[in-house]
């Protein structure tokens, strides 16, 4: 490319006027911006702060927090122990032990005997949710996940199902019918409860 190429466009930096070089007008404008924000918080109540323990932050609809294991309309765990989430998990934090489904469950071959997620290992990427073919595992908007020990943070099937029970009203399942009656949950076969498999 030649220096006198007609396609070349020479761009010079903008000339600074005297007012620009004094910087004072710009500083006054800047002070105005700051003053607007200060006045907005002081008199307009425009602070974005959430007074946390008293007020709860409302997460966006696609926030990825603690997992839950969904129940189907009969209150059974939806999971069919296909291992797709455990395979998709980049952090290898899902551990599933599958078992043959009881004969009273004609709609599936297997169900998870044990379903354990290490919430400390999880990176909350949501790939388990995407991989699941039956929408059994979902990430909820719960963000205040704390525990006193590492063991406490390893969630088993019962705990993951209880997360569903706690969030089923705030965050309805995106697909599929919800369990008919929460009160009747404990009468139907519950996972890891009662004699028969859940």
Partner 1 sequence: MLAIGILIKIFVVANVLMGAVAYLIWVERKIAAYSQDRIGPNRCGGEFGVPAGLLQPLADGAKMMLKEGVVPAYVNKPLYILAPVIAIIAALLGFAVVPFGPVGPDQMLDFQIAPYLDIGIVWVFAVGSLAVYGVVLAGWASNNKYSFIGGLRSSAQLISYEIPLGLSILGIVLVAGSLDLNAIIKWQDQHVWGIVVSPLGFLIFLVSGFAETNRLPFDLPEAEQELVGGFHTEYSGMKFGMFFLGEYVHVITVSALTVILFGGGWDLPFLPLSYDQTGVVPAIAKLTIFSGKVACVIVFMMWIRWTLPRFRYDQLMDLAWKSLIPLALLNLAATAIILQIIRG
Q: Which residues bind partner 1 (CB under 8 A)?
A: 27, 30-31, 33-35, 37-38, 40-42, 46-49, 51
Instruction: Specify the pairing of strand 154-155 against strand 94-100.
Output: unpaired
Beta carbon of residue 42, minimum distance to partner 1 (angstroms, whole number):
6
Cβ-based nearer residue to partner 1, 40 or 147: 40
The Cα–Cα gap between 71 and 79 comes to 8
32 is written with which tokens? Answer: 């105005």
Q: Residue 32 or residue 102: which is nearer to partner 1 going by CB?
A: 32
Contact present, 157 and 77 (Cβ < 8 Å): yes
Give least dist CB 59 to partner 1, A. 20
CB of 36 to partner 1, least distance (A): 9
Smaller CB distance to partner 1: residue 6 or 13? 13
Task: Classify residue 71 as left (phi > 0), alpha (psi -120 to 50) or beta.
Answer: beta
Least separation in angstroms between CB 146 and partner 1: 20
CB 162 within 8 A of CB 127: no
């Amino acid at each position: 490319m030649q220096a006198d190429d007609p396609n070349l466009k020479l761009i010079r930096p903008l000339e600074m006027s005297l007012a620009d070089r004094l910087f004072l007008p710009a500083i006054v404008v800047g002070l105005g911006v700051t003053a607007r924000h200060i006045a907005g918080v002081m008199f307009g109540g425009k602070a974005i702060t959430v007074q946390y323990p008293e007020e709860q932050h409302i997460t966006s609809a696609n926030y990825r927090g603690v997992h839950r294991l969904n129940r189907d309309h009969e209150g059974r765990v939806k999971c069919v122990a296909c291992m797709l989430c455990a395979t998709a998990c980049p952090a290898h934090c899902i551990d599933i032990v599958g078992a043959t489904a009881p004969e009273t469950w004609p709609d599936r071959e297997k169900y998870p005997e044990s379903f354990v997620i290490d919430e400390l290992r999880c990176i909350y990427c949501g790939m388990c949710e995407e991989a699941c073919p039956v929408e059994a595992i979902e990430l909820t908007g719960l963000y205040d996940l704390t525990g006193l020990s590492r063991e406490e943070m390893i969630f088993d099937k019962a705990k993951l199902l209880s997360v569903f029970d706690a969030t089923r009203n705030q965050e309805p399942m995106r697909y599929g019918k919800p369990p008919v009656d929460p009160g009747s949950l404990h009468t139907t076969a519950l996972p890891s409860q009662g004699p028969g498999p859940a």
